[in-house]
A and B are shown apart, each in its own frame.
Chain A
């Protein structure tokens, strides 16, 4: 079998394998979050500039390596909500807050439709009775839809 034929064959196998791998989507999809509770990066960046508005609690519900490289100023790291430990940390962080607290959550680890964390975090807050939760929608990822746009960031753990 020639190299080209061999790799074309492997590509076909890969495509078939992907089509037959629903297990990758074990997490609840981000699409389950109501559109009314989504906020676009440009709108949130503009809101952050307004000094006369009360800032919401901003929680990063993704991964520490990403948070350490760059995150929204004043955002707190609570851990990957797709993971049991991260979910517990999130629940603990908001346990003493009034349920009408303004909270913005974001992840941006990977493409929106593949994020394992954001819907889990939204559901957890919703289940706890929080009714003023907004979700930052990063179509591609945090780097593409926030950092590359020049919106404010800071780094460190």
Chain B
């Protein structure tokens, strides 16, 4: 069972992650994407909001997104408790601090704002979008990397 406990090879992970697209379509008719879950959660909390982005959001059609991300959390729970990998550090220890929490809050802000403004994340745009030959998704993916590289190579000295 060792192969199940070790981190998996890239090609296995890649194939299985890619299969999420047809699996989700075939079993539920839904397009693989994750960042909509932020909007769905917000719309569920404030369905009568003055903000049309929330009140005009179709909560029933997108309910699946919060079920899906709950599933992700459950899957990770299973993987870390029942199929433990060699590592347990999702985040480096430096993040276990007030400063670390603030960095993550800011990073999260950029993720939440950015993915919603772009209309998708690495799942919805990079994988599902490009797989369906959606050229805006290729553009989105390019700029995901522009942003990530700029931060890593530019501001990296202060952040890391």
Q: Do A and B bind each other?
A: no
